[in-house]
Amino acid sequence: MINYLINKYIKNADDIQNETVRFAYGKLTSIIGIAANLLLFIVKLTIGFMTRSVSIMSDGFNNLSDVMTCLVTVLGYRIASKPADKEHPFGHGRVEYVVSFVIAVVIFTVSFELIKQGIQQIIEPNEILFKPVLMLILVLSIGVKLWISYLNHTIGKRIDNLAMIATAQDARNDAWSTLITIVAMLLSQLKTTFPFDGVATLVIACFILKSGYELIKEIVDRLIGKPADQELVKQIREIILKHKEIRGLHDLIIHDYGPSVKIGSAHAEVDAKMNFVKIHDIIDQAEREVGDTLHVMMTLHMDPIEYDNPITNAYFEDLKCILSQIDPAITVHDFRTVLGDEHTNLVFDLVIPYSFYLEDEQIKAEIDRHFEKYPNKIYTVITFDHPYTGG
């Protein structure tokens, strides 16, 4: 069904980095969401009045808020699809994150309103009228919400759209809310004064509040800056390192300006004896290939390495042996030797995993202790880094 809708209403559906295509995806899911949620609002509000159930009416107003969210979302998709301009040279892709934040605010607002209604219903409970036909309609509404969730989650993952994934989560919350409401209505038929309807409303509110918190956390993480997707990192490395003249790659950084705009940089290790013009052409070609294949604007910095210097190579191999004993996850790059009459400087960078337990000074002391066995005096000049791609 989803593939049918995509093929029928979205042109060039596979070009998911194209903002026009992304807007088409967003418009499709938003229109479906508006129609479905508006219908559910009318149905649940009617059933709520007929059964005197506050939790059902609350569930209906939750669907009405989803209609408003869909309207805001489609507007956000439209803005995000605008091309770069003088004021926003990196485009408007991050508007999708703003849309996600609006959805989170709506989720919080609905949850607090439900908490208030639930407390009121516990203090002054209403008698709930049980009607099997109406219960069947509510069960069908759960199916509708689960399908909306599946639609948004599938497309959201396909095009890496946080707002759609948030909408999918919100729809799942609605399905759970309706299910809890049905259970509360069934329990309310027992000969007891326990306020099942009010308690169910509070449970629904807490569930929705939790999902709002998780969504806010994801948005904040993305705005602060998360590590790049590991699959994307792997693909970038494969494209660049397929050029045999590029011996290694480090300091890979990827900046995210929305799902469709990514800018990357890295240091490419090349033989210091290679012709400068030739290696420059190879670097340019690698940058273009990353851009054409992965839609990442890539800039590579050339790091010339002396691969045939026996003294440098001996020190380098010794250092790698030391690091393997400290922690194999530590990597080294930009290694070079500066020879003097009385001492030798070993200059290099170390990339330390965030989870590593030793301080930088302790690592340096361990390395220096090893090089004390050499007859000549050796100093280490170390720059400590952490991986920008996670770890």
Q: What is the DSSP secondary-structure string of 77-105? A: HHHHTSPP-SS-TT-STTHHHHHHHHHHH
Q: Which of 84-88, 125-129, 173-177, 334-338 has the lowest mean pLDDT?
A: 125-129
Task: Match 């109406």 to its residue by tokens.
Answer: 134
pLDDT of residue 128: 67
Q: Is the pLDDT of residue 211 over 90?
A: no
The 10s digit of each residue's pLDDT in 9-40 is 888 888 887 778 888 898 899 999 999 999 98
Provide the pLDDT confidence category of residue 122 given band limits of 50, 70 and 90. confident
Whole-number Å distance between alpha carbons of 294 and 3? 23
Higher-pLDDT residue of 119 and 227 is 119
236: confidence class by pLDDT, cuts 50, 70, 90: very high
At 130 the pLDDT is 67
Which amino acid appears at position 181 of this protein?
A: T
DSSP state of 128: P
Query: Over 70: is that where the pLDDT of 320 sits?
Result: yes
Q: How many CB atoms lie within 10 A of CB 298?
A: 22
16 close to 158: Cβ distance less than 8 angstroms: yes
Alpha helices in the chain (DSSP H): 2-9, 19-51, 54-80, 95-123, 132-159, 162-187, 196-224, 230-241, 276-294, 310-326, 360-371
Residue range 336-345: average pLDDT?
Answer: 86
For residue 350, report the phi and psi dihedrals to the nearest 5 degrees: -120, 135
| Average pLDDT, integer, range 310-325 | 92
C-alpha angle 21-25-31 in degrees, rounded to nearest 5: 135
Packing angle of the helix pair 310-326, 360-371 (nearest 10 deg): 130
Which residue ranges form the domains of the chain, and what is each CATH number?
1-224 (1.20.1510), 230-305 (3.30.70.1350), 310-385 (3.30.70.1350)
| CA dist., res. 240 & res. 18, Å (int) | 24
Q: ∠ CA(198), CA(170), CA(103), 5° rounding?
A: 105
173: tokens are 């919350």
What mean pLDDT do residues 83-111 have? 82
Helices 162-187 + 95-123 axis angle, to 10: 10
Taking Cα atoms as reference points, which of 48, 66, 216 lies closest to residue 149? 66
Taking residues 95-114, what's their average pLDDT?
Answer: 81
The helix (run of H) or strand (run of E) holding residue 355 is: none
381 touches 347 (CB < 8 A): yes
| The model's pTM | 0.67
Mean pLDDT of the 121-145 span: 80
In this predicted structure, the answer to whether residue 49 has a pLDDT above a threshold of 90 is no
Q: What is the mean pLDDT of the chain?
A: 86
